[in-house]
């Protein structure tokens, strides 16, 4: 081993990181920060592409620090080189020669390197043949006793002087001891279990409103006529320490309210009906309910006389009796130049008793009554004027 081998191994680590990031998104891009599930997924990708594996202990030893003080075993170097698209560790170094390395004349590989690469390539070829054409071989009844020389720890010896012996019975090129250990299996499924629990938790957070909310359906009817209200109603939901939430109930349609609250305070208002505040305990209240509203008689008569084009003289008299002499009347203009115009009682009566089709588009926004029951305030707009 020389200083150039250390530099080449650092290059190899960078290319391994780049290769993995092509199709995967780990927690961190920097390979030295990978841990847990990131290392497991990397091992799976390494087995898939290079048909080999490195243990988690080896990963922490050689990828968590930079630069390393010693090189891994030659078989691990060959596996990592194949992962990034080279034939062997020697092939990788040959294609990544450094200028200083060329100047030093260290271009020719040692005989041990060539032998290591040939043995590894031969071993890899046997693996591919075995995968394509699996052959069942009988088990031998007796295994020769290994000498102490065969049990030398290759990790602690110089990689340049190592020879790779081919095991005829097991052609795997990676260490499966840690992979098949009970601890590794438990750890793998523990991570999968944690991932499933987190996914379920995120799902509950995303759909908690739907899971814990309840829907209530409200319809509204005229208390005097016992018929559905054929007009829009303004609804305000009042909550403690919050501004009112405004809704609109469309004519002849149910108002659907979805909530997780246990109580309801709702204000219902309309120009032609008296404002009412509805209180409900939603724990015991029915999900479907019809609410009766008391009509505002003066407002409804005003609407009737405004739309009735017959007997204009009688119509003026009735309107004069309905509207207070001190009434405040507003006409709202919601066009390019927003504005509000005020008018007195007689001008308003003249406007609504003038036989014109514009009265069909007159819309009363709000009506208020004084203590005697007469109309003290009218706010209206004519929709056709807005379009002009």
Alpha-carbon distance of 210 to 208, in angstroms, equals 5
CATH class of 297-387: alpha beta
* pLDDT tens-digit series, residues 107-136: 455 545 555 555 555 555 444 434 444 444
3-class state of residue 46 by DSSP: helix
Query: Picking from 40-49, 151-160, 317-326, which range would have the lowest pLDDT averaged per residue?
Result: 151-160
Peptide bond into 67 cis (omega under 30): yes
The dihedral of CA 220, 222, 225, 230: what is its sign?
negative
Task: Tell the residue number behind the tokens 């001891």, with chain if given.
Answer: 177
> pLDDT tens digits, residue range 329-356?
988 876 655 578 888 888 888 887 776 6
Q: CA 51, 57, 63, 64: dihedral to nearest 10 degrees?
A: 160
Nearest Cα to 364, choosing from 270, 252, 297? 270
For residues 279 and 268, give the distance between their C-alpha atoms in angstroms, rounded to a whole number.
11
Distances (CA, A) of 384 to 254, 357, 381: 29, 10, 9
Record the pTM: 0.39
Judged against a pLDDT cut of 50, whether residue 263 lies above it is answered with yes
Where in the chain are the domains? 3-134+153-180, 213-293, 297-387
Neighbours of 387 (CB within 10 A): 8
Contact 231, 245 (CB under 8 A): no
Per-residue confidence (pLDDT) for residue 1, from 0 to 100: 56
Residue 224's pLDDT is: 80
Which two three-digit tokens encode residue 146?
Answer: 């290994």
Domain 213-293, CATH number (from 2.60.40.10, 3.30.200.20, 3.40.50.300, 3.40.50.740):
2.60.40.10
What does the alpha-carbon distance between residue 234 and residue 310 come to, in Å, rounded to a whole number? Answer: 31
pLDDT at 211: 61
Whether pLDDT at 137 is above 80: no
Identical fold for domains 213-293 and 297-387, yes or no, is: no
Q: In a 3-state reduction of DSSP, which class is residue 329?
A: strand
Supply the angle between the helices 3-23 and 74-83 in degrees, to the nearest 10. Answer: 40
Band the pLDDT of 153: cuts 50, 70, 90. very low
What pLDDT is recorded for position 158?
Answer: 46
Please state, rounded to an integer, the average pLDDT across all residues of the chain: 75
What pLDDT does 388 receive? 43
Among residues of the chain, what percentage have pLDDT more than 90?
A: 8
Q: Are 287 and 214 in contact (CB under 8 A)?
A: yes
Cross-strand pairs, 119: none
Structure tokens at 287: 């999900």
Complete edge-to-edge strand list for the sheet that includes strand 263-270: 245-249, 233-237, 263-270, 273-281
How far, in Å, are 109, 196, 302 from residue 380 at the CA level? 97, 59, 12
């Amino acid at each position: 081993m020389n200083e150039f081998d250390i530099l080449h191994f650092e290059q190899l680590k960078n290319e391994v990181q780049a290769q993995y990031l092509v199709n995967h998104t780990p927690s961190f891009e920097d390979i030295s920060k990978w841990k847990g599930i990131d290392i497991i997924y990397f091992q799976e990708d390494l087995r898939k592409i290079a048909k080999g594996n490195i243990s988690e202990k080896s990963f922490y030893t050689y990828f968590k620090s930079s630069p390393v003080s010693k090189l891994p075993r030659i078989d691990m170097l060959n596996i990592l080189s194949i992962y990034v698209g080279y034939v062997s560790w020697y092939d990788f170094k040959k294609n990544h020669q450094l200028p200083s390395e060329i100047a030093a004349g260290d271009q020719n590989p040692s005989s041990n390197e060539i032998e290591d690469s040939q043995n590894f390539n031969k071993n890899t070829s046997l693996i591919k043949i075995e995968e394509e054409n699996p052959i069942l071989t009988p088990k031998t009844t007796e295994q020769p006793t290994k000498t102490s020389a065969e049990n030398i720890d290759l990790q602690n010896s110089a990689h340049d002087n190592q020879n790779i012996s081919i095991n005829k019975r097991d052609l795997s090129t990676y260490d499966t001891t840690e992979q098949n250990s009970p601890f590794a299996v438990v750890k793998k499924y523990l991570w999968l279990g944690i991932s499933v629990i987190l996914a379920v938790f995120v799902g509950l957070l995303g759909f908690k409103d739907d899971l814990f909310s309840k829907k209530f359906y409200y319809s509204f009817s005229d208390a005097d006529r016992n018929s559905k209200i054929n007009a829009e109603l303004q609804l305000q939901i009042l909550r403690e320490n919050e501004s009112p939430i405004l809704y609109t109930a469309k004519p002849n349609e149910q108002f659907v309210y979805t909530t997780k609250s246990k109580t309801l305070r709702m204000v219902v208002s309309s120009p032609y009906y008296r404002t009412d505040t509805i209180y409900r305990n939603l724990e015991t209240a029915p999900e479907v309910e019809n609410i009766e509203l008391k009509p505002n008689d003066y407002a409804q008569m005003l609407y009737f006389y405004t739309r009735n084009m017959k007997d204009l003289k009688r119509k003026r008299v009735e309107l004069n009796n309905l509207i207070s002499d001190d009434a405040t009347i507003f006409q709202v203009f919601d066009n390019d130049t927003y504005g509000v115009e005020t008018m007195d009682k007689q001008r308003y009566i003249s406007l609504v008793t003038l036989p014109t089709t514009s009265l069909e588009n007159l819309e009363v926004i709000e009506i208020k009554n004084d203590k005697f029951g007469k109309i003290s305030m009218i706010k209206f707009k004519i929709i056709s004027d807005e379009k002009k």
